[in-house]
Amino acid sequence: MNIDRRRALALFGFGGAGAAGEAMAATPQGLHAGPARFDHGVASGDPLSDRVILWTRVTAPDAKAPVGVRWDVATDPAFKNIVKQGHATADASRDNTVKVDVIGLKPATGYFYRFRQTVNGKAVGEAVVGRTRTLPVGPTKDVVLAVVSCSLYPAGYFNAYDAIAKLPRVDAVLHLGDYIYEYGAAPDQYGMASPTAKTRIPNPPHELLSLADYRLRHAQHKSDPAAQAAHARAPWIVVWDDHETADNSWVGGAENHQPATEGDWAKRKAAGIKAYYEWMPIREPVAGALPEASWRGFQFGDVATLLMTETRLTARTHQLDYSHHLAGADGKPDFAAFAVKLKDPARRMMGQGQEQWLAREVDGSVKSGTAWQVLGNQVVMARVANADLKATMGEPAFADLLAKLPPYLAKAVEQSRALAAIDTPSNLDAWDGYPADRQRVYDIFKASQARPIVLSGDSHAFWANELWDDAGTTRVAAEFGVTSVTSPGYSDYLPGAPIGKAFVARNKEVKFTDHAAKGYLLLTLEHGRATGELMAVSTILSETYETKVLKRFVVTPDGEGGVKGLAEG
């Protein structure tokens, strides 16, 4: 399957964690005594005001033998003031990863942590060290978050991660999904046309299906120096999107999963989720809970409530598709019938349980006087109709563009332009494909008079959007969409085309969008303003790069609830 071609068309259209201890526990017996390494670095995540997850992975000559590990948490980089410590065991049941939920920490405090191997109860060898931070409680001046998504290994160097690692301040890193991709290393696979692919070959070289496959791909990403540096810099708060399992996944399957040749979807999904929990610094699900139900909240003092949602694997209805759902009985496009299908209230992104949780959390945040309600969300929420490049470029320039494109891509651009004339969504896999469910989220915001900021990934583009309700009379939220770390977007397929300008011209809710830049979003939240800086790296084809602010936007709260429009800062 030619993934680059298919993805270009798509653009148009368990186990428990290691226990935390107040004091050091006895080292288990029968552990591996040979030298072990920490080749995959360290990470921390899911910070709360009194606790944080610490993570590492042990590499030993005998991968099947358990390895003892000691962890320490200190207030200084020399580890002279150790405040927490304990032992854990790495074993094959969790791919030799270690995850510790350290409790009893102080709020709004920076810590250093380290892991070392233990032999006969004593720590030996070199330590692997990271930095983390707990969340504030009560009055808080500001919060600084770095936001990323979509890190396709063969497509380029993870310079956005490296840039985040070098920030003078970052309280937490949010990863909004597609931390890994499931594709293989064949020449026609997604990302393999990049000049960097020859030295960044996916491991394993085939599409991910088994638990062993997903583990190897996570290990490859954690072996990347830039990824290791960013993980060691600050705590991460993460959510999966589709590629942690398979492209365009939904509750019952995925576009990139063929049961006839790739087996049972439930088994593949379970493998992807298990590897994710093993390899990511995310708190383990509570006993009896579905691993897929990963929605959870984080309170940053009185400045922000961050609510991380799950819109892929627990309730999402199968995506509509123009090629399959637009044709009427006579084979001709039936836009009226398609609109009825699209607006069906039964089409869901979130299930009822998650929706009720979101309503409670948003309402509680507003009533407690928290300045901002921030939604950590995988896909773009704004209404984004197909853009008309011909109208934006003019007919001669548009004709010249089409002449330079391969036939399949020229056809897709023409079809997108035709769909633009009838106000159809550009991406049915985003919230645009589930408008009734989106309005239910907006009703939650409006009922609580929230001041929402929606953060979105997936699209491989920067966005600054104003979100309006279905009636188009009430602005309910601001949205910042973050571009990819490396994954290709529209501009990679249509270099030089004024794609952002065309989307802005076509869509009321889109105030700015850029489909060429790679990088991250730097979000600074204060009581009277939220500043989103779209941070672009100059290249992903070389490890030598520069970083610049592509655009800066400021959001201010509305005195009656809600937010005012985006202002360019």
Q: From CA 106, how far away is CA 489, in angstroms rounded?
A: 42
Q: Tell me the per-residue pLDDT of 485-507, one tens digit each, with 9 for 90 and over.
A: 999 999 999 999 999 999 999 99
Q: Are 384 and 510 in contact (CB under 8 A)?
A: yes
pLDDT in tens, 278-323: 999 999 988 888 899 999 999 999 999 999 999 999 999 999 999 8
What integer pLDDT is reported at residue 354 of this predicted model? Answer: 97
Residue 76: pLDDT over 70:
yes
Buried b (16+ CB within 10 A) or exposed e, 352-390: eebbebbbebbbebbeeebbbbbbbbbbbbbbbbbbbbb
| Listed range (90-104, 293-307, 399-413, 449-463) with the worst mean pLDDT | 399-413
User: What are 317's two structure tokens?
Assistant: 């209805």
Q: What is the model's pLDDT at position 16?
A: 33
What is the band of 23 on the pLDDT scale with cuts at 50, 70, 90? very low
- How do 452-456 and 372-376 pair as beta strands? parallel
Q: Which residues pair with 524 in a beta bridge?
A: 144, 531
Q: Looking at residue 417, what is its pLDDT?
A: 82
Q: Right CATH number for 14-293 from 2.60.120.260, 2.60.120.10, 3.40.50.620, 2.60.40.380?
A: 2.60.40.380
pLDDT digits 0-9 by tens, 352-404 = 999 999 999 999 999 999 999 999 999 999 999 999 999 999 999 999 999 99
pTM: 0.94
Label residue 31 by pLDDT band (50, 70, 90): low
8 A C-beta contact, residue 373 and residue 453: yes
CA distance 305 to 237: 13
Q: Give the contacts of 108 (CB within 8 A, at least 6 positions apart).
A: 49, 133, 134, 135, 136, 137, 140, 301
Q: Examine the pLDDT at 14 and tell me if it is beyond 80.
A: no
For 6, list phi and psi in degrees, rounded to 5: -65, -40
**The two three-digit tokens of residue 381, written as one number:** 């929420």
Give the neighbor-by-neighbor strand order of the sheet with 110-119: 82-90, 67-74, 110-119, 122-133
Give the E-state strand segments of 251-347 in sequence order. Answer: 253-254, 296-300, 304-308
Q: Distance between CA 549 and CA 554 in Å, rounded?
A: 14
Give the per-residue pLDDT at 56: 98
| Direct distance between the N- and C-terminal alpha carbons of the chain, in angstroms, rounded to an integer | 45
The maximal CA–CA distance of the chain, rounded, in angstroms, is 77
In which band, very low, low, confident or very high, does the pLDDT at 8 lie, cut at 50, 70 and 90? very low
Dist. CA 382–CA 507, nearest whole Å: 9
Kind and range of the H or E run holding 122: strand 122-133
The pLDDT value recorded for residue 32 is 55
- The dihedral over CA atoms of 72, 78, 81, 82, expressed in degrees to the nearest 10, equals 0
Share of the chain above pLDDT 90, in %: 82
Position 297 scores a pLDDT of 98
Comparing CA positions, the residue from 148, 162, 10, 147 lying closest to residue 489 is 10
- Computed over every residue of the chain, the mean pLDDT equals 92
Between these two residues, 452 and 335, which has the higher pLDDT value? 452
Instruction: Give the three-class secondary structure for 136.
Output: coil
* Sequence-ordered alpha helix ranges (H) in 182-314: 211-223, 225-233, 259-262, 265-279
- Is the pLDDT at 2 greater than 60? The verdict is no
Q: What is the DSSP letter of 333?
A: B
Quick one: which of 352, 260, 268 has its CA closest to 315? 352
Average pLDDT value for residue range 242-255 = 97
Residue 1 has a pLDDT of 36
| Residue among 278, 270, 258 at smallest CA distance from 210 | 270
Q: How many CB atoms lie within 10 A of CB 552?
A: 15
Question: What's the pLDDT band for 515 if we cut at 50, 70, 90?
Answer: very high
**What pLDDT sits at residue 33?**
59
- Lowest average pLDDT, out of 70-79, 100-109, 285-294, goes to 285-294
Q: Would you state the structure tokens that stand for residue 248, as one six-digit string?
A: 């365009």
- Which range among 249-253, 350-354, 401-405, 428-432 shows the weakest confidence by mean pLDDT? 401-405
Taking alpha carbons only, the member of 100, 102, 9 closest to residue 50 is 102
* pLDDT over 70, % of the chain: 94
Contacts of 261 (CB under 8 A, 6+ apart): none
Structure tokens at 549: 């602010």
| Contact assessment for residue 312 and residue 379, using Cβ atoms and an 8 Å cutoff | no
